Each structure stands twice: as C-alpha cells, then as structure tokens.
C-alpha cells in the first residue's frame, strides 16, 4: 500500500475515529463536571443572564478598548490566519470534494490561484504568530509542547498542501499523501491539546458571561 492510499484509507479512518472519540469524551467529560454553587442571590433574571452569556461570546471576541494597544496586534494576527484557514478548508475545490464524500453535497469553489495566495498569506501569518510567541517574553514562558506542536502540525498541513498543489519537492501523489497524513496526525492530536479550543471557546465564553451576569457584572 502506497503512502497516499494509506493516508486516505486506513490512516484517515483511524484518525477520524480517534478524533470523534476524543472530542466527545472531552466535551461530555467537562459538560458533566460539578460546577461551583452560586452562593449569592442572583442579581439579574435568568433571561438577562442568558442574554449576558450570548453577549459575552461577542464581546470577548473583540479586543477590549482599554487593552487594544497591547492585544490588538495579536488578535488581528489570530483572526486573519483563522479566516484564511477557513477559506482554504471550505473553498478549495479538492477540499470541497473531500467534504462532499462525507456530507453528500458540494458547493462552488474559489479559483485555485486565489486559494494559493490565501494559503501563502495564512502560512506567513502563522510564521508571524510563532515569531511573536518566541519573542514575547511572557508568552514564551507560558508556552509548552502543546502550543508548539499544535502550531507545527497546523503549519505542516498548510505547507504540504501548498507543495502538493505547486508540485514542488516530489511527485504529486507523495506530496498529497504527506498532506493527508499530516491532516490525519492533526485529527489525532486535535482532542489531545489546545486545538480543542475550536469546541470549547464559544461555550466557555457563554458560561462565563452567564455566571458574571447572574452575579450582576455583565461584560
């Protein structure tokens, strides 16, 4: 069995199983944890508190005016490469085909040249993010293996994808095989590290916002 057949076949199958088991495990495991009792009297109605939860999902997704000078650059970088990644994942014709096999329907693609430009930009932004992590003293002290490996595997998927479409560095089937294999590894790693933020980030903001609003400090 060649690399591409393995990556698309048993490799992807295994990765999908690990991904799904891991993600549901973690979500169910956290959702059912005991949460702290609200010891004070509720300051707002349940309805307002729930609205506060929703509002926080939005407000926390935007730089706080007071800190924008310090956090703005980081947030702009983060947003940009996330948007770039989503465009590439959802609007590149071969990716849409991969989705189509699972979902049973497809949608129009962007021209491959546009996707190539966005991928290069996204990768450049990823490099900038890594540079910031390495040069920012506090951030560097806070970083662990999870941060670097999650960055590495994401970057590897983008780079191998770019090489495969550009036919640079080896035959297409090998590069495509490496690209899909890197994606398989990313899927396996997904529930193990910070990539889980894709599932956690919005619920945790909402719960925080709800609790704060309930305590009379809506954000």
Q: Measured from the CB of residue 140, what is the shortest distance to other proteins in angstroms? A: 31
Indicate the residue among 72 and 111 with the shorter CB distance to other proteins.
Answer: 111
Stretch that binds other proteins, among 33-41, 49-57, 137-145, 198-206 (CB under 8 A): 33-41
CA distances from 24 to 127, 184, 192 (A): 31, 18, 12
Q: Is residue 141 involved in binding other proteins (CB under 8 A)?
A: no
Q: Is residue 130 involved in binding other proteins (CB under 8 A)?
A: no
Which 105-124 residues touch other proteins, going by CB under 8 A? 106, 109-115
Q: Using the rule CB under 8 A, which residue among 47, 66, 101, 168 binds other proteins?
A: 101
Cα 168 to chain centroid distance, Å, stands at: 27
Q: Is residue 36 involved in binding other proteins (CB under 8 A)?
A: yes
Tokens of 104: 């049973």
> In angstroms, rounded to a whole number, what is the distance separating the alpha carbons of residues 6 and 67?
48
> In angstroms, rounded to a whole number, what is the distance separating the alpha carbons of residues 32 and 166?
47
- CB count, 10 Å around CB of 137? 7
Q: Is residue 24 involved in binding other proteins (CB under 8 A)?
A: yes
Stretch that binds other proteins, among 21-29, 40-48, 58-66, 80-88 (CB under 8 A): 21-29
Q: Is residue 58 involved in binding other proteins (CB under 8 A)?
A: no
What is the size of the binding site for other proteins (CB under 8 A)? 53
Tokens of 192: 């193990």
First-residue to last-residue Cα distance in the chain: 55
Q: Measured from the CB of residue 35, what is the shortest distance to other proteins in angstroms? A: 6
> In angstroms, rounded to a whole number, what is the distance separating the alpha carbons of residues 218 and 43?
10
Is there a contact between 158 and 117 (Cβ–Cβ < 8 Å)? Answer: no
Q: Is residue 16 involved in binding other proteins (CB under 8 A)?
A: yes
Indicate the residue among 15 and 206 with the shorter CB distance to other proteins.
Answer: 15
- CB count, 10 Å around CB of 67? 10
**Which spans of this chain sit near other proteins (rule: CB under 8 A)?**
2, 4-5, 8-10, 12-13, 16-17, 19-37, 93-95, 97-98, 100-104, 106, 109-115, 167, 171-173, 176, 180
């Amino acid at each position: 069995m060649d690399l591409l057949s393995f990556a698309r076949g048993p490799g992807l199958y295994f990765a999908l199983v690990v991904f799904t088991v891991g993600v549901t495990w973690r979500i169910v495991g956290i959702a059912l944890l005991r949460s702290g009792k609200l010891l004070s009297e509720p300051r707002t109605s349940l309805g307002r508190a729930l609205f506060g939860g929703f509002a926080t999902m939005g407000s926390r997704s935007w730089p706080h005016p007071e800190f924008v000078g310090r956090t703005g650059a980081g947030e702009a970088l983060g947003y940009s490469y996330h948007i770039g990644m989503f465009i590439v994942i959802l609007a590149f014709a071969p990716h849409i085909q991969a989705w189509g096999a699972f979902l049973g329907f497809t949608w129009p693609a962007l021209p491959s040249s546009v996707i190539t430009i966005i991928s290069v930009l996204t990768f450049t932004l990823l490099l900038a993010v890594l540079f910031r992590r390495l040069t920012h003293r506090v951030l560097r002290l806070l970083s662990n293996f999870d941060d670097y490996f999650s960055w590495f595997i994401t970057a590897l998927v983008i780079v191998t994808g770019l090489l495969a479409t550009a036919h640079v560095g080896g035959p297409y089937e090998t590069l495509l095989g490496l690209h899909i294999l890197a994606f398989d590894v990313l899927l396996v790693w997904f529930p193990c590290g910070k990539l889980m933020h894709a599932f956690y980030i919005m619920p945790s903001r909402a719960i925080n916002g709800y609790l704060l609003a309930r305590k009379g400090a809506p954000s």
